[in-house]
Amino acid sequence: PRNTDSYDYGRYHPINEIYDFQDMLVAENPNMVSKIVIGQSYEGRPLNVLKFSTGGTNRPAIWIDTGIHSREWVTQASGQWFAKKIVTDYGRDPTLTAILNKMDIFLEIVTNPDGYYYTHNNNRMWRKTRKPNPGSNCVGVDPNRNWDAGFGGPGASGRPCSETYHGPRANSESEVKSIVDFVKSHGNFKAFISIHSYSQMLLYPYGYTRTPVKDQAELHSLAKKAITDLASLYGTRYRYGSIISTIYQASGGTIDWTYNQGIKYSYTFELRDTGRYGFILPPSQIIPTAQETWLALMAIMDHTYKNPY
Amino acid sequence: KETFEGHQVLRIVPKDDVQLSLIKDLEDMIEFELDFWRGVTDAVTPVDIRVPFHSLQTVKIYLETQGIEYSTMIEDLQTMLDDEQEEMESAARVTQ
């Protein structure tokens, strides 16, 4: 495709096409979109973050990432659709326009690029990073168990061959460390949204402890609003609540760390499957999934914008 | 390239906490090389497990002897992946 208008958002793309898409979007929208390389993956791929900004310096910001578990393809695909939606709707949708006139949005579409490349070329079922584990034949760490929040506790595995292996130490994976360093250096994130699939949930901290977060009531009611908006489009039903109370105990998770950094509106999505496809969601469901998810994202972003802290 | 001929994904709906813990025990049976697509949460929420061909019979016997109901969510994962690959390639051809 020569531009992002003719790009096929209803298809799964290999990593080179996604990286080309990002560069096209930046080239087409020089006044709003820029690309920041926040680090390198273990195999040396750039960790690209798209910054959507209408000006100002170090404005309060919203982070969205997709694809931290590489086999969850509908998330990276939705990320590309979100990027195009933002540049299309700015100036047209009053809610998004108001948000972007005061806040920045950062979007990392391929958060685990080595894993994503591996799912296209070697093993479609790959979930983790690709860094070798010394002393083991098994490669990779679960990037959603590698964060410094209850690291190594229950709900993560110490076995390198496990799909939930937490790694040798917190932030051992460059894909995680790069985000940690970026969030710390930016210092003004107000919302952090990490997107997974496929069990249709909207979750807030904590995963590593049953101690409720201090903002539990607000996060719970905002989650309810977000998933109600989401369901309004195609009737897709979501569950919502804290990670530990809704699914299971999981330590070393992304949004437990971001919440502990003071980023109040920290959420994890689990997108579709409404049927029996699991990770192999048919591409015909990419755009409807992205559309409905966007409604929930807008609810969270709008609330963040209207409730500065 | 890793392939998954004969791998099935079973959808298990635990009835109660006893069944939940029996399914959770499966996670520790490393020799089965199970891949939990959707983990154990609470009773009535499905658990989806990819089971390699070499473990299929044993896992199904385990579930049946424990009276745990399951259905086959994906009959043959590799067939589904081949379809996905073919669809990607044809869509790419259309784009080009």
If you average pLDDT over residues A258-284, what whole number do you get?
Answer: 97
Distance between A59 CA and the closest CA of chain B, angstroms: 38
Q: Is A199 on the interface with B (CB under 8 A)?
A: yes
Q: Smallest CA–CA separation between A233 and chain B, in Å?
A: 24
Burial class (CB in 10 A: 0-12, 13-18, 19+), A214: exposed
Contact residues, chain A, for B95 at CB < 8 Å: 1, 8, 11
> Cβ separation of B84 and A12 shorter than 8 Å?
yes
Contact call for A122 and B30, based on CB within 8 A: no
Is A136 within 8 Å of chain B by CB?
no
Report d(CA A104, CA A35) in Å as an integer.
13
Neighbours of A91 (CB within 10 A): 12
Q: Report pLDDT digits (tens) over A96-121.
A: 999 999 999 999 999 999 999 999 99
Q: Tell how strand A189-197 and strand A265-271 pair up.
A: parallel
Contact yes or no for B34/B55 (Cβ under 8 A)? yes
pLDDT at A58 over 90: yes
> So what's the pLDDT on residue A3?
94
Q: Token digits for A48? A: 């690209």
Q: Can you read off the two tokens belonging to residue A26? A: 């930046």
Q: Where are the beta strands (DSSP E) in chain A?
A: 33-40, 46-52, 61-66, 104-108, 189-197, 201-204, 239-242, 265-271
- Average pLDDT (A128-155) is 97
* Residue A195 CB neighbours (<10 A): 26
Question: Distance (Å) from the C-alpha of residue A278 to the closest C-alpha of chain B?
Answer: 7
- What pLDDT sits at residue A222? 98
Q: Please give the residue of chain B at the shortest CA–CA distance from A239.
A: B45
B48 shares contact with chain A (CB less than 8 Å): yes
Encoded amino acid at A73, one letter = W
Among A123, A111, A121, which Cα is nearest to A14's? A121
Mean pLDDT of the region A136-143? 97
Measured between CB atoms, does A12 come within 8 Å of chain B? Answer: yes
Name the residue in chain B with its Cα closest to that of A121: B1
Cβ–Cβ gap B84/A280 under 8 Å:
yes
Contact in structure between A289 and A66 (CB atoms under 8 Å): no
CA distance A231 to A228: 5
Residues of A annotated as part of the active site:
270
CB contact under 8 A, A247 and B4: no
In chain B, which residues have pLDDT < 70?
none
CB-CB neighbors (< 8 A) of B36 in chain A: 163
Of B30, B48, B95, the CB nearest to A278: B48
- Rounded Cα–Cα distance for residues A149 and A133 (Å): 21
Assess: ipTM above 0.90: yes
pLDDT of A68 higher than 90: yes
Tens of pLDDT, residue by residue over A174-231, are 999 999 999 999 999 999 999 999 999 999 999 999 999 999 999 999 999 999 999 9
How high does pLDDT run on average in chain A?
Answer: 97
Is the pLDDT at A1 greater than 80, yes or no?
no
Give the nearest chain B residue to A72 (CA atoms). Answer: B37
Taking the alpha carbons at both ends of chain A, their separation in whole angstroms is: 42
Q: What is the pLDDT of residue B44?
A: 81
Contact B88 A122 (CB under 8 A): no
For residue B65, count CB atoms less than 10 angstroms from its CB and return exposed for 0-12, middle for 13-18, buried for 19 or more. Answer: exposed
- pLDDT value, residue B54: 96
pLDDT digits (tens, 9 = 90+) for A69-91: 999 999 999 999 999 999 999 99
